[in-house]
Amino acid sequence: MDISVYDFERVMIVDDTKIDRYIATYLMQKNNFARNILEFDLATKAIMFLEDNSNNQSVLPQVIVLDIRMPKMDGFQFLEKLALLPPSVRDFSCIIMVSSSLDASDHTRAGSNPVIKKFINKPLCKANLEEIKSLYREMTFQDK
Of 93 and 101, the one with the shorter C-beta distance to another protein is 101
Mask for 16-55, x = binds another protein (CB under 8 A): -x-xx--x--xx----------------------------
Of 24 and 47, the one with the shorter C-beta distance to another protein is 24
In three-state secondary structure terms, 144 is coil
In three-state secondary structure terms, 39 is strand
| Rounded Cα gap, residues 21 and 139, in angstroms | 24
Q: Which residues pair with 39 in a beta bridge?
A: 13
Q: What's the start-to-end Cα distance of the chain, in Å?
A: 32
User: Taking contact as CB under 8 A, which single stretch among the options 36-44, 78-86, 108-116, 118-126 is the one that binds another protein?
Assistant: 118-126
Residues 122-141 that bind another protein (CB under 8 A): 122-126
